Every structure is written in C-alpha cells, then in structure tokens.
C-alpha cells in the first residue's frame, strides 16, 4: 500500500492563521544511463515535523540568505553535501502550506542539474539517508509503501517523470502570464473555477468545478497557493454555502495538486476513482455507479471516458444532473 506519512499534517480547528515563512527547496537532478535521477533525502526519525518522510533538500529562508535561490543552494549543501551554482537554478513551482497548520511555509521549488558523478551524503542530523532515483522509481517506491512522501514531493516527481533532459525540464515548468482566480456560475448547481498556479507552476491555469447549492463539492483542485481557496471561500460566503468535500477525476498534477488546501487545511473528505490510493493523502476510492457521499446534489462516479484520463491513477468521470461533467 502507498505510504501516507505517519506525521501527515492535520488542521487545528479554530486555530489562528499563522503567516507562512519564506522557504526554498532544491530539486537536484543528474543524468544517468536510464534517464534523469533526482536527489531525495529521508528526514530523521526524531524530528517533530515530517519524521521519516522522503523530501527534496530545503528549508526556511534565513536572514543571511540573499534570496530563496541562495537558501535552496545552502540547504542542499547543508543537508546532502551537494554544491550547485545559484545562477543555474530553474524556477519550478510554488507551494504554500494550508491555513490552520501550526507551521506554514511559502516555498519556492527550484531545479538544478549536477554532474552525472555527483555524490550525496546525509550531511545533517536532520537527514537519515539520501538516494538518487528516477522519478518513476521513486513513485513506484511510494506506491509500495517504501517511500512515504508529501504531496509537493509526489507531484514534483509526477511532473518530472519521463522528462529526458534539461531542455525538457525548463519547458515543462516554463512560467506563463499571471491572472487571478475566476469563478463563473454555469447553472443552478454548477460553477467553473479557473485556477492559477496549476500544479504549482506560475502562470499555469486549470479549470476546476464547484457542484452544489448550499453544500459545495470542489472538483479537481489544482492551485498550490492560497489564491483559489480564498476566492472559493468568499464565493461560498456570498452564496450562503459551505464546502462539503473534494472530488478528483484523476491524479494528474493539474487535477489534484491543490487538494492540500482543502483536505489538509480544512479537513474535508476526498474521493476519486479506482487506483487513487496511490495518492500521498487519505482518499476514498469510488467504483462505477457509486454516489459521492457528501454534498447536496447527486454526483455519481462513472468509468472514465475522457481521452488519456485512464493513464492516470484514480480516473473517473462525474455524472451531475443527468450529464457528464465536462473536462
């Protein structure tokens, strides 16, 4: 079974909102015979936060750091003994810890290519082990329950899987034009949600849905920052509604990367199709014809019909008001 970390973050109901601290993460890559490998570190078992979880080197931005890039480079050297040139870093993604968590970070993820023979070591008491793995191998290790990891690590590995070289990495994470979230009413029980920061990539947009009258189900959350959930919260307040749960139509990054804001931050239940247990968070798998067990509008899971959807775990279509929810 996939390994959901035993220290999986839990919200603190009613707790004051903690401002996120600036942080940085470095995804170190090297070329190998079988393709690109990524450096992962296992957090020490005695740590209060994330013990035993496999992550990329990273941490908070210190006063001595010139910027998040400098912090990412410093953390990689301190934790894994790997030195990289800050000028070569590739901006990847942004991940903001959900509200109501005791520790919050606004983390910038960067990529860096190291020479093929680069060695790494557990250079800090916070690090119990290091490993160079292909993205697919790391994801398979997670699925076997051997490599517990959090959502940002899991999604980043999904995004890197299959990329052959630095040019492909730069293209896959290339930033687009920024725009705010946009929620549009599409009928009595449907709203579209145009989300920025889809999969954590700046300027990348993805369409999600809200289904319901007063008990809203959020479908395909993609935004890894606070922007979209803030817009949904405000729309729900105006409509006199509340958020009831989350439905994910498959585990591609642009459909589930933002689930932490709702599941972790608000404690909402999450459902998806068969195979969704591969996710690094608690999720209930629905079979064909099964109704979602929350919300005030009937939503029924159906076998995935969208082209390409079935290559992803957790794939399903959603039937609402007699029709299939559009992609």
Question: 113-144: per-residue pLDDT in tens?
Answer: 999 999 999 999 999 999 999 999 999 999 99
Residue 101 has a pLDDT of 80
Which pLDDT value is given to residue 212? 98
Mark out the alpha helices in 144-226 (DSSP H runs): 151-160, 166-172
* 210 and 301 part of one domain: yes
Residue 252 tokens, joined? 């591609």
160, part of any domain: yes
* Cα–Cα distance for residue pair 132/124, rounded to 1 Å: 17
Q: Look at residue 47 in the predicted model and tell me its pLDDT.
A: 87
Q: Is residue 12 part of a domain?
A: no
Looking up residue 144, the CATH number of its domain turns out to be 3.90.79.10
Separation between Cα atoms, residue 256 and residue 247, nearest integer Å = 9
Spans in the chain with pLDDT lower than 70: 1-15, 308-310
pLDDT at residue 272, as a whole number: 98
Specify whether the backbone of 297 is left (phi greater than 0), alpha (psi in -120 to 50) or beta.
Answer: beta
- Same-domain pairing of 116 and 149: yes
Cα 158 to chain center, whole Å? 10
CATH of the domain at 247: 3.60.15.10
| Cα distance between residue 278 and residue 300, in whole Å | 21
Burial class (CB in 10 A: 0-12, 13-18, 19+), 285: middle
Q: Could you report how far apart the first and last alpha carbons of the chain are, in Å?
A: 30
**Which residues span the domain enclosing 304?**
182-324
Residues 163 and 286 in one domain: no
Q: Which two tokens stand for residue 244?
A: 């009831």
Run of H or E including 318:
strand 317-320
* pLDDT per position as a tens digit, 141-175: 999 999 999 999 999 999 999 999 999 999 999 99
Edge-to-edge strand list for the sheet holding 284-285? 182-185, 190-195, 206-211, 215-219, 242-248, 270-272, 284-285
In the chain, how many domains are there? Answer: 2
Q: Assess whether 161 and 203 both reside in one domain.
A: no
**Pair 192, 163 in one domain:** no
> What predicted TM-score, i.e. pTM, was given to this entire model?
0.94
């Amino acid at each position: 079974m996939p390994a959901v970390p035993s220290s999986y973050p839990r919200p603190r109901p009613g707790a004051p909102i903690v401002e996120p601290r600036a942080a940085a993460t470095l995804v170190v890559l090297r070329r190998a015979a079988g393709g690109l490998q990524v450096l992962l570190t296992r957090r020490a078992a005695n740590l209060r936060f994330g013990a035993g979880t496999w992550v990329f080197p990273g941490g908070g931005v210190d006063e001595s750091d010139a910027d998040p890039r400098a912090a990412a480079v410093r953390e990689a050297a301190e934790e894994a003994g790997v030195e990289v040139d800050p000028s070569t870093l590739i901006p990847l993604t942004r991940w903001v810890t959900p509200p109501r968590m005791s520790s919050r970070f606004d983390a910038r993820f960067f990529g860096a290519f190291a020479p093929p023979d680069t060695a790494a070591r557990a250079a800090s008491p916070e690090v119990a082990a290091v490993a160079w793995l292909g993205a697919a191998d790391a994801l398979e290790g997670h699925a076997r329950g051997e490599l517990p990891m959090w959502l940002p690590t899991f999604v980043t590995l999904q995004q890197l899987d299959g990329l052959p070289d630095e040019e492909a990495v730069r293209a896959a994470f290339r930033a687009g034009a920024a725009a705010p979230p946009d929620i549009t009413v599409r009928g009595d029980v449907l709203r579209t949600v145009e989300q920025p920061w889809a999969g954590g990539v700046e300027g990348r947009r993805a369409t999600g849905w809200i289904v319901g009258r007063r008990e809203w189900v959020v479908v395909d959350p993609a935004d890894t920052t606070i922007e979209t959930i803030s817009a949904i919260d405000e729309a729900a307040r105006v409509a006199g509604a509340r958020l009831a749960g989350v439905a994910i139509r498959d585990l591609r990054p642009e459909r589930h990367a933002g689930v932490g804001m709702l599941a972790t931050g608000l404690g909402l239940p999450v459902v998806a199709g068969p195979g969704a247990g591969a996710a690094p968070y608690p999720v209930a798998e629905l079979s064909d014809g099964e109704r979602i067990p929350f919300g005030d509008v009937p939503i029924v899971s159906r076998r995935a019909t969208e082209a390409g959807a079935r290559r992803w775990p957790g794939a399903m279509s959603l039937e609402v008001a007699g029709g299939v929810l559009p992609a």
